[in-house]
Chains A and B, each alone.
Chain A
């Protein structure tokens, strides 16, 4: 009887182990979704309305916002780096095109403890070549070859109330910079790293990246359109300062939503 009990207990333990293993196998990875939102110091962005004031006191409006993010990577607490590789690791966002505001890459995200998410605003020099995008809307981001080629990293088009209360247009465009005589080009894309606090055992698959537009004009460089003027594509110093500010323009939140597990 004792013998049978021992064998019975052993079988039961084996079965338990097997079930537990199977459970772990099932919850191995999730399909990530990256959502893009835009606000101005917490207020929802309202297109074409002159009701925002930047750090320098410029009153401004935004009519269009289009940009690329690329090289999205998740860094686990143990240092493992998981890159998003879908779509050549480049995603285009247009605040007027709802389909661009959600990115559902084919990549899988292992279920583990994550420390951060990183991405590049713009496209790195290895990929940012004219001809990379032949179809709209990405094609319409092209950056003239004579100015370095490739694609705008970001276009923010709007208007501001200039000195004398006159309304002037601005084109806050970022891309490859060049010096005055067009002989040297500068790669202005920049990397943003945002902390995540995803503990082992908790599952997150939806990552919302929010751009606070006001941060582009705040620090470390107070942006004053009355000083920079409305156009900066051929003003490397201004683009450099804008990119320094842009590193502070993003936040990320995460949640678990309709999770589909993959083994």
Chain B
């Protein structure tokens, strides 16, 4: 009897010991904008918390995430993902000439960048091919969290070592406290680094463009913008909406994959076919969101178009027919949608209504004034 009682007391104390009174994070609720999806893609093992997001923001902008301390060798997410360019590097980036990013060792990325906008609503896989998705048989390549870990080690990004990154972050004053508040442990792990950054990335919500205001009845579009909108939204017009959304899909992407007729030969080992093995997916890539698209050039997975005008010219007269072109590219056989110059101008005017300055200047998305130890963040 005594033995049983002692055991019970021991179990009780053991249980109590695991309850860290300091670990009481505040759940963060994403405010869902009007017309936006109600279903959020947040992994069940990484609920968003105020503390996790705060930590993630520091790490996103801390060049020591690369495990390096030499100024020339430091790199973080914020090195390439600039808020002012809708979290791409932008075509006028002083370091990444022409908008083509490269890693610490100078190796260029396999594809050009995709923006980080509204990813909390993306259910169809990340990157141009969608290879990072819940359907990936490799459990380490499924979520935004996994992409963070991949960025640390990829030769074309940080080209680092997760142990070195963990040790360095652990050694920086302020971080252990933040990890404890966010995850209940002062020990820095790569998984918790990834979780924190992913939480921050999921807060990046664009929902306040001129077009959003038009949809909410707060602002009118100009005649030219409305003409472009009609073009955008009609099958006999430019028929953009089937892949890029619109009034019924404010993300301005389906997040799905299409061969849009850029080429006739397909040998990119990172296209959608590389993920699905479906022959109809040769040369197919994710339809990008058109939000802030005027700031995210160069365009397409290989950055072949420098300006929006070039992109519209391509869809108008430059489409290359092949058996792999998606059927929704129904003007492909004629080389494109054959817009007049004034129709092209109208379409571009409408697309520019998707610029969201609230998003581009939101201080909570940008670099903090100082990192936890007082050091300067990247891009500040």
Contact = CB atoms under 8 A, between A and B. Distances in A.
Nearest to B215: A145
B123 A136 contact: yes
Interface residues of B, number: 36
Interface string A133-154: 0111001101111110101000
A159 B327 contact: yes
A66 to B, nearest CB: 11
B35 A170 contact: no
A168 B248 contact: no
Q: Chain A at the B interface: mostly helix, strand, loop or mixed? A: mixed
B278 to A, nearest CB: 8
Contacts of B278: 47-48
B256 A140 contact: yes
Contacts of A134: 35-39
Interface of B: 35-39, 123-124, 229-230, 233-236, 239, 241-242, 245-249, 254-256, 278-280, 323, 325-330, 332-333
Given A131-B35, A169-B333, 10 more contacts: A63-B327, A135-B38, A136-B123, A136-B254, A139-B37, A139-B248, A145-B247, A146-B233, A149-B247, A171-B235
Nearest to B254: A140
Interface stretch (A113-121, A184-192, A227-235, A250-258): A227-235
B280 A171 contact: no
Contacts of A135: 37-39
A142 B330 contact: no
Nearest to A234: B236
A233 B237 CA distance: 11
Given A63-B327, A135-B37, A146-B234, A169 B332 contact: yes
Contacts of A230: 330
A240 B247 CA distance: 25
Interface of A: 47-48, 63-64, 130-131, 134-136, 139-140, 142-147, 149, 151, 157-159, 166-171, 173, 230-231, 233-234
17 contacts: A63-B326, A130-B248, A134-B39, A136-B254, A140-B256, A142-B241, A144-B233, A145-B233, A145-B247, A147-B233, A147-B234, A168-B333, A169-B333, A170-B327, A170-B330, A171-B235, A171-B327
Contact of A167 (B242, B255, B256, B323): B323
A169 B233 contact: no
A41 B242 CA distance: 29
Nearest to B281: A48
A151 B246 CA distance: 13
Contacts of A168: 330, 333
Contact of A142 (B38, B249, B333): B249
Contacts of A47: 278, 280
A167 B38 CA distance: 40
A147 B239 CA distance: 12
A134 to B, nearest CB: 5
A62 to B, nearest CB: 9
A170 B278 CA distance: 20
A140 B256 CA distance: 10
Nearest to B123: A136
Given A157-B327, A173-B235, A231-B235, A136 B280 contact: no
A207 B38 CA distance: 32
Given A136-B255, A139-B249, A171 B330 contact: yes
A52 to B, nearest CB: 14
Contacts of B248: 130-131, 139, 142-145, 149, 151
Nearest to A132: B248
Contacts of A149: 247-248
Contacts of A146: 229-230, 233-234
A149 B35 CA distance: 14
Contacts of B36: 134
B331 to A, nearest CB: 9
Contacts of B38: 134-135
Nearest to A173: B235
Nearest to A172: B327
A103 to B, nearest CB: 19
A169 B329 contact: yes
Given A140-B254, A144-B247, A231 B327 contact: no
A63 B242 CA distance: 15
Given A136-B255, A171-B327, A130 B235 contact: no
A10 to B, nearest CB: 59
